Amino acid sequence: MNRKTHLLLSLLMMFGGSACSSLNPLNFIGRSSPSLEDAAAVISEAEQAIARGNYERALRDLEGLFYLEGLPTSLRTRAVQLFAAAAEEEIKRLSQSTDGAEELADFVNDELPREVAVSAGIASARAYIARGEAEEGWKILRRLDERFPLHHERAAAGRLLVDSGLSLSRDDRNWWIFWSARDEGMACLEYVVLNHPAEPRCDEAYTRLGELYGEDNQRLLAIERYSDLVLYHPQSRLRAAAQAQIPMLRLELLNSPEYDRNGLILALAELDDWVIRFPDHPMKDEVLESRLDCLRRLSASDLGIARFYERIGNMEGRLYHAERARELAQVAGDAPLAEAASVLMVEQEPVDS
């Protein structure tokens, strides 16, 4: 039985039966439409089929009525009501097994009433994800959003989108250079945070995106996604770990102490703030080690500047930066750096000409 034909005919019936006669070419070969005299009996048989739980039979029987011209309004209305009820029960039946994913998706492919189509789409996506085809579930959920932007199952759709994105992002399947599950997962997670920002599990999406961009050495994008998590989900259990990643990634971006001292200063401030906010977090030792690394880099930066001033004969500048380099090195516990800075702090007497 072609489910798409049923659903399209149901929709047309809701707007009246005048257009239905033009759909005769869609009818199955060898199937005859009932006569007006048989309409009442067909409806009665459909009611009995529904009572027996044979919803597919009911849909098949009722479909024939939609070709009839001159069907009384009362019978036409009853046929549509039964068709909708049978469709709803058929969706429930198909939802009991992951094998019904494709048939459930057919309900979304047609312009059914919102409630029926959305329920079928959610069930289809859930079935696809359960059987390891998250990419198909993600397509169905996106189609629902396109057809019914404010549908009543957006909360469920958001959760399933997160499930799809996380699953795909950890899937190593690919097809040459044209498609990879991991890239599809990134696209899905980006879609979630953009189109379902109220989804409570967006913090998981932001975290995974930060990890993925970090793996791809796209550290600025990783910082953005971790920062989004901190901003939009301040109470999340994932916030502390995400906030710790921001200065760590910032340090990875800097190739040398001379390259961007402002970046080092910002990272140090972020690390200090983290230690104050999360003193008992399991990542504390890792954060403290990054803080020491940042202090060493800042000390090395000042040491390099002090040596520059030494070369050009600027004693004031040499002493100022050498002193700051030594202080930072001492805080970092780096004795060699502190010693090198101390050497530059010795005032040299001018050479007699």
Kindly indicate the confidence band of residue 21, based on its pLDDT and cuts at 50, 70 and 90: very low
Give me the mean pLDDT over the 228-236 stretch: 97
Q: Who has greater pLDDT, 140 or 15?
A: 140
Other C-beta atoms within 10 Å of 57: how many? 17
Inter-residue contact 129 to 137 (CB < 8 Å): yes
State both tokens at 29: 């070969």
Express each pLDDT in 276-290 by its tens digit.
Answer: 999 999 999 999 999
- Neighbouring residues of 168: CB distance < 8 A, sequence distance ≥ 6: 134, 135, 138, 181, 182, 184, 185, 188
What are 238's two structure tokens? 């994932």
Residue 18 has pLDDT above 80, yes or no: no
Q: For position 117, what pLDDT does the model report?
A: 85
What's the pLDDT at 19?
A: 38
pLDDT surpasses 90 at 55: no
pLDDT tier for residue 32 given thresholds of 50, 70 and 90 = low
Share of the chain above pLDDT 90, in %: 62
- Helices 154-169 and 202-215 meet at what angle, rounded to 10? 20
pLDDT digits (tens, 9 = 90+) for 78-91: 888 888 888 888 88
Q: What DSSP line would sit under 301-316, residue for residue?
A: HHHHHHHHHHHTT-HH
pLDDT at res. 350: 53
Q: What is the pLDDT of residues 157-181, one digit of tens each?
A: 999 999 999 999 999 988 877 889 9
DSSP per-residue string spanning 173-229: -EETTTEEHHHHHHHHHHHHHHH-TT-TTHHHHHHHHHHHHHHTT-HHHHHHHHHHH
**Extended beta strands in 208-292, E state:** none
Sign of the alpha-carbon dihedral angle for 27, 33, 39, 43: negative
What is the rounded distance in angstroms from the CA atom of residue 205 to the CA atom of residue 189? 6
pLDDT digits (tens, 9 = 90+) for 135-149: 999 999 999 999 999
Split at pLDDT 50, 70, 90, the class of 13 is very low
| 301 and 327 Cβ atoms separated by less than 8 Å | no
CA of 312: how far to CAs of 67, 119, 144, 256, 317, in Å?
Answer: 96, 76, 69, 22, 10
- Pairwise CA distance, residues 196 & 333, whole Å: 47
The pTM (predicted TM-score) of the whole model is 0.79
